């Protein structure tokens, strides 16, 4: 959806899949090995958004494990939390891909 207030440089495609992510060790006190879950809402060349019950902070770096379309493997994407928005059941999070 392109609206006048849209800040995305490229369009997104609906994802609607469970994705796993891990917070980097620099963003938390943990070792970064614990996987958290979210529901991917959309994805594009520059970023994605997801729903999660994990309170993420703007600027945190995540390793996002996205299931591949028709393969049993997943794609590992490094992303930065661009924004977070509280929802009734958790948070909607906007991610910007770094690599």
pLDDT at 34: 80
Considering the segment(s) 13-97 as one domain, its CATH architecture is Beta Barrel (2.40)
Domain residue ranges in the chain: 13-97
Tell me what pLDDT residue 27 has: 46
Q: Are the CB atoms for 26 and 59 separated by under 8 Å?
A: no
What is the predicted pLDDT for the residue at 2?
43
Residues 11, 39: Cα–Cα separation, whole Å: 19
Six-digit token string for 24: 């980097």
- pLDDT tens, N- to C-terminus, the chain (99 residues): 444 445 656 677 888 889 999 998 544 444 546 889 999 999 888 999 999 999 999 999 999 988 776 556 778 899 999 999 999 999 999 999 996
Are β-strands 47-52 and 90-97 bridged in parallel, bridged antiparallel, or unpaired? antiparallel
């Amino acid at each position: 959806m392109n609206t006048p207030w849209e800040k995305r440089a490229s369009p997104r495609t609906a994802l609607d899949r469970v994705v796993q992510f891990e917070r980097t060790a620099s963003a938390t006190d943990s070792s970064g090995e614990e996987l958290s879950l979210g529901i991917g809402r959309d994805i594009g060349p520059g970023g994605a958004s997801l729903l999660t019950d994990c309170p993420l902070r703007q600027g945190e770096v995540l390793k996002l494990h996205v299931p591949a379309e028709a393969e049993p493997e997943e794609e590992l994407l490094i992303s930065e939390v661009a924004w977070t928005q509280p929802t009734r059941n958790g948070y909607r999070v906007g991610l910007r891909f770094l690599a």
